[in-house]
């Protein structure tokens, strides 16, 4: 056994004792990253102390790419690859609907963190005009390095307020991994997340969906007709996340991937049909579905079709 392998074996024992489930794999990565035995010892101490492996290495594996991840930045999870898959599928449909178009689709990665989702989309569905945004300056600095290679732009600010107004009504795809952990549940998260990732990337408010509601409320103004919003959520919260989209004029379809343990809601702007003028003395006619012929709700029925 060579020296590197011996060091890796010793490291695995330390990591296993610290509770690392994939101790052998992590030991190999740490041994490869360290240039000296002293540096390896320092890396192992950080990992055994609970620091995320991705923060120690400075990168995370995501959608087949190595994404840079700085200390204090939300670590992209494998489940979020569902956003990339659904987003890429929408972009392919958009391309088929615009044969011969030389204008790249506009993609916005909102609550971008490291910029992993936008970077991965550019890799699998480019070329595209990529914009990303986050409220955390540390995340924005990290994302700028990641998206630089695909020609993206990262904006600092709170949700849509970060975006340039020239994008209003021009966005083909809006991908969002907003925080959705209820405030009371943050304390129950693993220490790796709770102590080393920004709370703004985890805490979604009392029911976890405060940011989801804000995303849903603003999406229509930014999306083109036929554009898509792809929003990560949990399987438990999916009905409420979908309801937020519907209340703000979007369709809602829940997508689940058991292999990734991932759930997302996909929405599109509902087409607004022009109202048909009728004589004042002629009451509107309700269809068999209980909706006005003009597309509005029948008397006593709410706009969402309930009641």
Q: What is the mean pLDDT of residues 295-302?
A: 36
Query: How far is it, in rounded angstroms, from Cα 218 to Cα 178?
Result: 14
Q: What is the pLDDT of residue 277?
A: 55
For 179-202, the pLDDT digits (tens) are: 999 999 999 999 999 999 999 999
Q: What is the mean pLDDT of residues 73-93?
A: 98
Query: How far is it, in rounded angstroms, from Cα 248 to Cα 3?
Result: 61
Residue 144 contacts residue 114 (beta carbons within 8 Å): no
Burial of 120 (0-12, 13-18, 19+ CB in 10 A): buried
Query: Residue 234 in 3-state DSSP?
Result: coil
Q: What is the pLDDT of residue 7?
A: 52
Query: How far is it, in rounded angstroms, from Cα 272 to Cα 71?
Result: 45
Residue 110 contacts residue 174 (beta carbons within 8 Å): yes
Look up the pTM and report it: 0.84
Residues paired with residue 254 on neighbouring β-strands, in sequence order: 265
Structure token pair of residue 246: 């519907």
Structure token pair of residue 156: 């600092």
Task: Please give the full DSSP string across 193-206, using - where no structure is assigned.
Answer: HHHHS-GGGTB--T
Nearest to 212 by CA among 198, 224, 230: 230
Task: Please give the full DSSP string across 146-189, using - where no structure is assigned.
Answer: HHHTTT-EEEESSGGGGS-GGGTTTEEEEEE----B-GGGGGGS
For 152-183, the pLDDT digits (tens) are: 999 999 999 999 999 999 999 999 999 999 99
Q: What is the pLDDT of residue 10?
A: 87
Q: What is the pLDDT of residue 99?
A: 86
Residues paired with residue 62 on neighbouring β-strands, in sequence order: 65
Residue 278 has pLDDT above 60, yes or no: no
| Mean of the per-residue pLDDT values of the chain | 89
The CB density around residue 5, as the number of other CB atoms within 10 Å, is 12
Structure token pair of residue 151: 């020609």
pLDDT band at 283 (very low <50, low <70, confident <90, very high): very low
Residue 137 contacts residue 112 (beta carbons within 8 Å): no
pLDDT band at 73 (very low <50, low <70, confident <90, very high): very high
pLDDT band at 272 (very low <50, low <70, confident <90, very high): confident
Which stretches of the chain are assigned E, i.e. beta strand?
59-62, 65-68, 106-110, 129-134, 153-156, 171-176, 223-233, 253-257, 262-267
Q: What is the pLDDT of residue 212?
A: 99
Distances (CA, A) of 194 to 80, 226, 242: 19, 38, 27
Domains and CATH numbers, the chain: 3-68 (no CATH), 78-267 (3.40.50.150), 280-307 (no CATH)
Q: What is the pLDDT of residue 275?
A: 59
């Amino acid at each position: 056994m060579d020296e590197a392998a011996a060091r890796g074996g010793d490291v695995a024992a330390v990591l296993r004792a610290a509770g690392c489930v994939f101790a052998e794999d992590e030991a190999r990565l740490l041994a490869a990253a360290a240039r000296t035995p002293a540096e390896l010892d320092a890396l192992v101490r950080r990992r055994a102390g609970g620091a995320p492996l991705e923060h120690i290495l400075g990168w995370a594996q995501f959608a087949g790419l190595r994404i840079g991840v700085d200390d204090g930045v939300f670590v992209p999870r494998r489940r979020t690859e569902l956003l990339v898959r659904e987003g890429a599928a929408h972009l392919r449909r958009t391309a088929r609907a615009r044969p011969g178009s030389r204008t790249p689709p506009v993609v916005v990665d909102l609550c971008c963190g490291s910029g992993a989702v936008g970077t991965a989309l550019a890799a699998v569905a480019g070329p595209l005009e990529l914009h990303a945004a986050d409220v955390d300056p540390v995340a924005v600095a990290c994302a700028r390095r990641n998206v630089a290679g695909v020609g993206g732009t990262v904006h600092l600010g709170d949700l849509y307020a970060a975006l340039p107004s020239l994008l209003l009504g021009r966005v083909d795809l809006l991908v969002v991994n907003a925080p959705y952990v209820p405030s009371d549940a943050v304390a129950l998260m693993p220490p790796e997340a709770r102590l080393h990732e920004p709370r703004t990337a985890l805490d979604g408010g009392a029911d976890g969906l405060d940011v989801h509601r804000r995303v849903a409320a603003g999406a229509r103004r930014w999306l083109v007709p036929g554009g898509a919003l792809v929003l990560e959520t949990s399987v438990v919260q999916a009905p409420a996340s979908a309801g937020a989209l519907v209340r703000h004029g979007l369709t809602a379809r829940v997508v689940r991937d058991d292999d990734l343990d991932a759930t997302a809601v996909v929405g599109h702007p509902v087409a607004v049909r022009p109202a048909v003028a009728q004589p004042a003395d002629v009451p509107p006619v309700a269809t068999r579905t209980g909706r006005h012929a003009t597309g509005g709700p029948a008397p006593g029925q709410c706009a969402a079709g309930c009641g």
